[in-house]
Amino acid sequence: MYTIEDVSKLTGLSISIISRYLNGYNVRKENKKLIDEAIKKTGYTPNEFARGLRARHTKSVGVIIPKLTDVFALEVISNLEKELKKEGYGILVANCMNDRNNELSCVKTMLQKRVDAIVMLPFGDISGINAIMSKANVPLIVFDQYFKELNADYVLFENKESAKRACDILIENGHRNIAIVLGPLTDYTPRQRLKGFRKSLESNGIPIVDENIYEAEDYSLESGYKFLNDIMKRADKPTAIFSTSCDLTVGVFKGVYELGLKIPDDISIMAFDSLPLYDLIMPKLWTVVQPIEEYGKQLARQVLTRVVNCVERPYTTYFIGYDIREGQSIKNLKL
- pLDDT tens digits along 255-293: 999 999 999 999 999 999 877 777 778 899 999 999 999
Angle between helices 100-112 and 127-136 in degrees, nearest 10: 10
40-44, 236-240, 300-304, 326-330: least confident range = 40-44
Rounded CA-CA distance 117/199 in Å is: 37
In this prediction, residue 25 has a pLDDT band, given cuts at 50, 70 and 90, of low
Give me the pLDDT at residue 206, please.
Answer: 98
Give me the pLDDT at residue 301, please.
Answer: 94
Torsion of CA 317, 319, 320, 323, to 10 degrees: 170
First to last CA, the chain: 74
Q: Report whether pLDDT(205) > 80.
A: yes
Per-residue pLDDT, averaged over 110-136, amounts to 87
φ, ψ of residue 222 to 5 degrees: the values are -60, -40
Instruction: Select the highest-mean-pLDDT range: 10-14, 67-71, 133-137.
Output: 10-14
In this prediction, residue 7 has a pLDDT band, given cuts at 50, 70 and 90, of confident
Per-residue pLDDT, averaged over 138-166, amounts to 94
Cα–Cα distances in angstroms (integers) from residue 229 to residues 147, 221, 267, in the given order:
34, 13, 13
Residues in contact with 334: Cβ distance below 8 Å, sequence separation at least 6, in sequence order: 173, 174
In this prediction, residue 49 has a pLDDT band, given cuts at 50, 70 and 90, of very low
* Mean per-residue pLDDT of the chain: 89
Buried-state track 175-212, b at ≥16 Cβ within 10 A, e below 16: bbebbbbbbeeebbbbbbbbebbbbbbeeeeeeeeeeb
Q: Report whether pLDDT(122) > 50.
A: yes
In this prediction, residue 221 has a pLDDT band, given cuts at 50, 70 and 90, of very high
